Amino acid sequence: MKIKFNTLFILSILIPLNLGYAKSEKILIINDAEINNYINFLSKPLLISSGLSEEFVEVNIIFDDRINAFVANGQRIFIHSGLITNSDEPEEIVGVIAHEIGHIVSGHLTRTREVISSASTAGILAALFGVISVGVYHNSIEQVEGDLTAAAIFSSVNSLSMNSILKYSRTQELNADMYAINLLEENKTSGRGLLKILYKLSKKDKINANQMHYLSTHPLNSERISIASNKVKVSKYYSKKSNQQSLKSLNRIKAKINGFTKPNESLKKYNKDKSITGRIAKANSLHKLGKNKESIEIFKTLTKEQPLNPYFYESLGKTYLDDRQINKSINSYEQAIKISNNNPLILIGYSQALISKNNPDSDIKAIKFLEIVTKKIKKNYSAWRLLEILYGRAEKYGKSFLAGAEKNLILGNKNNAFKKASEALKLLKVNSPDFFRAKDIMFITRKK
């Protein structure tokens, strides 16, 4: 899902981005069809009600245990996995998203507009965290070699601390809370979740002040909680129960994330759990630990019990692929694609399975599906990286250079994008759509 905002700025949600903890760590971006679709499902009605077009927003999920979310450059939403795994009900995530929308529509922190108006996603992460961005794709990790010089994005404001740049006033926080509560009311959704998150953050700050520094940018005091509480509790939707299907989806996503990120802990916790959620956690844990055959058996059982769940087939396909059972992987992915109606993130996994066959016919098929992906999600690094390789194999060198230019454009590597587009222009058919796209990339990446 993509949403376009007119303003260009960074908004941190409830906890500030602490540069100190991250400079020696890698930032992980989770690209998972099930997780992304669920977050988009929760976000969509709020965005529509706020008058924000859902067509142009780029949603990214960062692997980080802490409760956090922020909006960068006005069109990129970053949600920490900790927000998901620490939520007991969907309304908590919805409340956080509504709070962020409150900051967006109110134009808070507009002073950063000039600073990051042209930053790429990788550039924003490099600037905020001072590290290279790394992508997590269907339980595997691939390095995205971001432009480290993007950290200089904030050089024009280096006289200010990051906290100063991101800092909200208590009035702004209260305004965002009120907007969120009204937005939730309009969507007939309980504000109970927003209160629960505020209480959780308040308790965690007292327990671990060194880790939870949200007070430095998002003032959270008893008055703010009291005002929000009084307004939320008079709503006729306050006691409204969570949608059971949404709650079930949330628990499954939490199991998937915890299985991948904390495999040993999850195996111990869900050792005797025969529920679907428990088996999801175990299957992902086993896969993460390299015990693919055991993981495959669990996923096979899950597909038999729920033959219309595309994500079980997708996970089975990925595990088969990692176990080098390529034909079985392809078959599983084909089931997932059919059920999901060509979900673009699932198509990428399918294309990787096809490429693993290492023959021209499979490469041609993979190219076809990756071209579908890039039409649906224009800024997908993995899809352009694979197309760059496949076009090269097929001796379509103009298209290969162009795909490389697109890949570098996503990373914010403008020099490389310009060079690749220049090479593409020499080889592409004059006045073709690809030819004009190469010229466009050269225009937007040219040195001023």
| Res 101: pLDDT | 86
**Topology (CATH level 3) of domain 245-340:** 1.25.40
Q: Reduced to 3 DSSP states, what percent helix, strand and coil does the chain have, rounded to the nearest 5?
A: 65, 5, 30
Q: How far apart are alpha carbons 434 and 234 in whole angstroms?
A: 57
Q: What is the pLDDT of residues 388-443, one digit of tens each?
A: 999 999 999 999 999 999 999 887 788 999 999 999 999 999 999 999 999 999 99
- How do residues 83-101 score in pLDDT, each as one tens digit? 999 999 999 999 999 988 8
Q: What is the mean pLDDT of residues 27-38?
A: 85
47-51, 62-66, 87-91, 210-214, range with the lowest pLDDT: 210-214
Confidence at 223, pLDDT banded by 50, 70, 90? confident
At residue 155, the pLDDT reads: 38
pTM for the whole structure: 0.82
Is residue 244 very low, low, confident or very high in pLDDT (cuts 50, 70, 90)?
very high
Q: What is the DSSP letter of 214?
A: G
Q: What end-to-end distance do the CA atoms of the chain give, in Å?
A: 32
Q: Is 67 within 8 Å of 16 (Cβ atoms)?
A: no
Extract the tokens encoding 156: 């024009």
CATH class of 342-448: mainly alpha
Q: What residue ranges of the chain are covered by domains with CATH 1.25.40.10?
A: 245-340, 342-448
Instruction: With a cut of 80, say whether residue 21 has pLDDT above it.
Output: no
| Residue 149 pLDDT level (bands cut at 50, 70, 90) | very low
Phi-psi region of 311 (alpha: psi -120 to 50; beta: other; left: phi over 0): alpha
pLDDT tens across 160-204, in order?
Answer: 344 454 455 677 788 888 999 999 999 999 999 999 988 887 775
Q: Give me the sheet containing 140-143, strands edge to edge.
A: 11-12, 69-72, 76-80, 58-63, 27-31, 133-137, 140-143
Residue 124 has pLDDT above 70, yes or no: no
Give the whole-number percent of the chain exceeding pLDDT 90: 55
Q: What is the pLDDT of residue 359?
A: 93
Burial state string for 226-263 with b = 16 or more CB within 10 A and e = fewer than 16? eebbebbeebeeeeeebeeebeebbbbbbbbbbbbbbb
* 76 three-state secondary structure: strand
**Residue 393: Cβ within 10 Å count:** 15
Q: What is the mean pLDDT of residues 327-353?
A: 96
> Do 107 and 7 meet the contact criterion of CB atoms below 8 Å apart?
yes
The label of the residue with tokens 């996603």 reads 121
Is the predicted pLDDT of residue 151 greater than 50, yes or no?
A: no
CA distance 275 to 294: 17
Q: Residue 268 CB: number of other CB atoms within 10 A?
A: 10
pLDDT band per the 50, 70, 90 thresholds, residue 26: low
What percentage of the chain has pLDDT greater than the value 70?
73
pLDDT value for 265: 95
